Amino acid sequence: MFGAFTPGLILIVVAVLLPFVPKATRSWVFLAAPILALLHISGFTPGMTTSWTLATFELTPVRVDPLANVFGWIFALVTLIGGIYAIHLKDVGQQSSALLYAGSALGAVYAGDLFTLIFFWEIMAFASAYLVWARRTDESYASAMRYLFVHIFGGSLLLGGILWQISETGSLAFDTFEPGWPAWLILGGFAVNAAVVPFHAWIADAYPRGTITGSVFLSAFTTKTAVYTMARGFPGWEILIWAGLLMALYGVTYAILSNDIRRVLAYHIVSQVGFMVTGIGIGTELALNGATSHAYTHILYKGLLFMATGALIYATGRSKMTELGGLFRQTPAIFWFYMVAALSISSAPFFSGFISKPMTISGAEYASTPTVVLLLHLASVGTFLSVGLKLPWFTWFGSKPDTPVTVKPIPWNMYAAMGIGAGLNIVLGVWPAPLYGILPYEVTFDPYELKGLKKGFQILLFTGLAFFLIVDRLKPKPKIQLDTDWVYRISKDAAWRFLVVPVQRVFAWGERASWGAASTLARLGIDPVSVARTGRPGPQSDDHRSASTELRVPMTLMVVISAATIVGILVVVWLRG
């Protein structure tokens, strides 16, 4: 229908045109972009590629295969749902940057070469930072700057690795990497975007500070694009098993302690991506299918979680559990939408997470150590504890805050988007065949075997029992927890003094010196004959209207150009002689 160009291009073109569209129809034009992208992807067949030659390099801006298609489908779908959620939005900057962000993520997953990949990778960083900045507060501005700082660091690792890779292999092809320094640098770049501990703190810093609609998009693309690139380039790298486990447990531990509801969810992105990274590290067909399908369902339920919490923030103007509570009667629909997503992320039977996360764990049971399996189960317990129990309990139930909460109505489109998201999470949970049919490898896993049901029900119900036994001890506190961003946030003053101030002083010296030199030259140029006769420059004059002013510039230029020419000639003669 459209030929083999990247579907991301559709979103990017619409993002560029959006400011010129009348305000009243802008949100609807936004929705047209992901719909066209979905139609475009539906015409893709595995094996389709587009290749260009750039100098001596072969570029492949589009490579269609099952792995890329899984991510392509869900990226376009979540852009559509997010667009519906944001229909009420009257901020063209956010709308355009959301489309640019989604389009570049799509561009990255269909990239068949490393040049195309980093091109879209960098656009993603800037477009996504805007969604944090767009809240237009001091905290979001600073957070967006830190976000950019971290992603530019990650992008630099990736670019360095790519250049090194090209110099060693002479190829731009983006396929499985062989161990070596270039591959480690590239993996480092991917790890920053995947929020691998200790490069993860940007996610808990920025996502709670993004705009209500912006964070829905943020939750979908950056980390999952990185999961895709890891699955493409580093399947079976054992270090990823342990990196993923650390992420899974680290994320849930911080989520248990977090007070801001979207920070809880942000830490859970770290945790859930940890499951995917572990699956990629195991590297078997079952584990890779598990990681890929988990990325797919994760985008659906995490988007719904951010939509529901965003709707609550919209309605109440509050985002901390200590300032919420007892809201069930006022916001029952938001609660139920939230719970669909919470049960999905907790792998409850008949919800989307149940068809994907246990597949990754099953991959570990067959091909990894018992320790890995047990720690993954422990992380699953933590997921339900914090997202499925603690957050909803202290937000919608529990005691009411001292200051009464005023609830304002939310737009119809928010309900519509959450309804679609909840419906998809349930449909996929009870009917996984459509997803299993597009996974990279043939699926032999059946989540609804008795063993799987037993595991799902027992873990959730007994975690629930334990939670209600210790619920008072888990009460949220108005605190933050130090994380690895402390290193670059607390060192801000020192960095300013030791890195910025010296550079500024050099520039200041240069500025003074150049002004001084220009001033001296100007004074010499007022009356060169007198200077030649007396050997002293003329008096400094501030009278810019004096007659000699007209002569200053050409005379000074003449002296400078002459001197430069003579020096140049002397240098050439000296070099030749």
Partner 1 sequence: MKMTIWHRLFGLALIGALSLELLGDRTAPVEVWDYPLFFALMGLFGCFILSLVAKGIVSPALDRPEDFYGPEDAEGDWTSQSPAARADARATSPETGTYSDVSAETPGRPGAPTDSSNGGEG
Contacting partner 1 within 202-261 (CB under 8 A): 208-214, 252-254, 256-257, 259-260
The two three-digit tokens of residue 295, written as one number: 């990325």
Applying CB under 8 A, the site for partner 1 has a residue count of: 82
Selection from 318, 306, 260, 181 nearest residue 477 by Cα: 260
The two three-digit tokens of residue 501, written as one number: 């101030």
Taking the C-alpha atoms of residue 173 and residue 186, their distance in angstroms, rounded to an integer, is 13
Q: Does 360 participate in binding partner 1 (rule CB under 8 A)? A: no
17, 477, 562, 569: residue in contact with partner 1 (rule CB under 8 A): 477
Q: Which of residues 85-104 bind partner 1 (CB under 8 A)?
A: 88-91, 94
CB of 408 to partner 1, least distance (A): 9
Residues 86 and 80: beta-carbon distance below 8 Å? no
Q: Which residue has the tokens 């965003």?
A: 310
Nearer to partner 1 (CB atom), residue 419 or residue 464 = 464
Instruction: Report the sign of the C-alpha dihedral through residues 386, 388, 389, 393, in that order.
Output: positive
Contacts of 178 (CB under 8 A, 6+ apart): none
Q: Which of residues 110-149 bind partner 1 (CB under 8 A)?
A: 134-142
Taking the C-alpha atoms of residue 110 and residue 228, their distance in angstroms, rounded to an integer, is 10
493, 532, 542, 577: residue in contact with partner 1 (rule CB under 8 A): 493
Q: Pattern of binders to partner 1 over 298-327, x per CB under 8 A?
A: ---------------xx--xxxx-------
| Span interacting with partner 1, options 49-57, 75-83, 327-335, 502-510, rule CB under 8 A | 502-510
| Span interacting with partner 1, options 76-84, 196-204, 462-470, 537-545, rule CB under 8 A | 462-470
| Span interacting with partner 1, options 221-229, 236-244, 465-473, 524-532, rule CB under 8 A | 465-473
Q: Which of residues 512-531 bind partner 1 (CB under 8 A)?
A: 512
CB of 349 to partner 1, least distance (A): 11
| Span interacting with partner 1, options 232-240, 274-282, 376-384, 426-434, rule CB under 8 A | 376-384
Selection from 160, 161, 233 nearest residue 194 by Cα: 233
Torsion from C-alpha of 512, 515, 521, 525, nearest 10 degrees: -150
Looking at the DSSP assignment, which residues form a beta bridge with residue 48?
Answer: none
Nearer to partner 1 (CB atom), residue 409 or residue 535 = 409
Taking the C-alpha atoms of residue 488 and residue 491, their distance in angstroms, rounded to an integer, is 5
| Span interacting with partner 1, options 13-21, 165-173, 466-474, 543-551, rule CB under 8 A | 466-474
CB of 575 to partner 1, least distance (A): 36
Nearer to partner 1 (CB atom), residue 174 or residue 445 = 445
169, 444, 504, 549: residue in contact with partner 1 (rule CB under 8 A): 504
End-to-end CA distance of the chain: 69
Establish whether the linkage from the previous residue to 401 is cis, with ω within 30° of 0.
no
Contacts of 119 (CB under 8 A, 6+ apart): 107, 111
Q: Does 466 participate in binding partner 1 (rule CB under 8 A)? A: yes
Nearer to partner 1 (CB atom), residue 400 or residue 451 = 451
Nearer to partner 1 (CB atom), residue 227 or residue 460 = 460
Q: Which of residues 389-428 bind partner 1 (CB under 8 A)?
A: none
Nearer to partner 1 (CB atom), residue 48 or residue 257 = 257
Q: Which of residues 27-86 bind partner 1 (CB under 8 A)?
A: none
Nearer to partner 1 (CB atom), residue 88 or residue 536 = 88
CB of 541 to partner 1, least distance (A): 23
Q: Does 329 participate in binding partner 1 (rule CB under 8 A)? A: no
Selection from 304, 313, 344, 346 nearest residue 331 by Cα: 313
Using a CB cutoff of 8 Å and minimum separation of 24, what contacts does 552-557 make? 552/522, 552/525, 552/526, 553/525, 555/525, 555/528, 556/521, 556/522, 556/524, 556/525
Q: Are strands 49-54 and 57-63 parallel, antiparallel or unpaired?
A: antiparallel
Question: Which CA distances in Å does 373 have to 209, 248, 405, 562?
Answer: 34, 12, 43, 78
Q: Does 200 participate in binding partner 1 (rule CB under 8 A)? A: no
Torsion from C-alpha of 135, 140, 145, 146, nearest 10 degrees: -140
Nearer to partner 1 (CB atom), residue 225 or residue 331 = 331
CB of 164 to partner 1, least distance (A): 35
Residues 200 and 223: beta-carbon distance below 8 Å? no
Q: Does 492 participate in binding partner 1 (rule CB under 8 A)? A: yes
CB of 440 to partner 1, least distance (A): 27
Q: Which residue has the tokens 């587009």?
A: 50
